[in-house]
Amino acid sequence: MNLILFGPPGAGKGTQSQLLVERQKMKQISTGDLFRAAIKNSTSLGKEAKGYLDAGKLVPDSVTIGLVEEELGALKGTKFILDGFPRNVAQADALANILKKTGKTIDKVFFVEVPINLLLGRLAGRRVCRTCATVYHIESKPPTKENVCDACGGEVYQRADDKEEVIRTRLEAYETSTRPLKEYYKAKGPQTYVEIDGTGTSEQVFERLTRVMQGKS
C-alpha cells in the first residue's frame, strides 16, 4: 500500500511515518530529504535546488517534482509514504502524471487532524538543545535539570519559531494553503481520502492508521 500523509505542524505525521517505516517496511519519501541527498550528491537538480536555497528562495515546483519523479522511478516494488508532497494542487496534478508514467498508485491519502489548541501546546512546549539539537518538551519530555541538556550539557532553549504567536501564524498559513489540496483529494472519495484523529499517544494514532490500512475501520 502506497500512502500520502498530511498534517499541520505538530500533528505528529513525522512520527507516524517513522513507525510505518520501522513496522511496515515502507519507504518514506520526504522532499527535505530529497533536497539534501541531491545537493550532497551534486546532481543537476541538486545544484539547481541549492542555488535557490542559498539565495533564501523557495525551490520551484519544477525542481521538487523532478526529484520526486526520480525517486519514484527508482523504486522497485517498495511500498512508500509521501511526506510533505504534494504541497499544492499543481504538485498533486504533477504527481498524478508521475504515477501514471511509473505505473504506481496511491492507495490512501491520510490527513492527521489535531485541534489547534493541542497543536499550540505541542509546539509552544517544545525546547531544543542549542549545542546538539536534542528535542525536549516542557510537559512530556523535560530535561532532568531545567534548561540543561541531558545529552551534552548544552543550553536548552525555545526557538523563535516555537513561540505561540509565530506558531499561530504558521498554522493559519498552513490551513489556507492546504485547504484546496484537501478538497482535491476529498473529491477522490472516502476510499482514498481518510481523516485520522491525531490526538492521544503516537501508538493510538498508529493503531488508527493501520486499522484503516487493513480495511477494519
Q: Which of the residues are catalytic? A: 13, 87, 126, 159, 170
The tally of CA atoms less than 13 A away on the side-chain side of residue 57 is 10
Answer yes or no: are the C-beta atoms of 92 and 187 closer than 8 Å: no
Residue of 3, 25, 21 whose CA lies nearest to 81? 3
Answer yes or no: are the C-beta atoms of 174 and 167 closer than 8 Å: no
Answer yes or no: are the C-beta atoms of 6 and 109 closer than 8 Å: yes
Q: How many angstroms separate the CA atoms of 129 and 81, rounded? A: 29
Grid cell for residue 16: 507516524
Give whole-number Cα distances, 9 to 66, 161, 172, 211, in Å: 25, 11, 11, 24
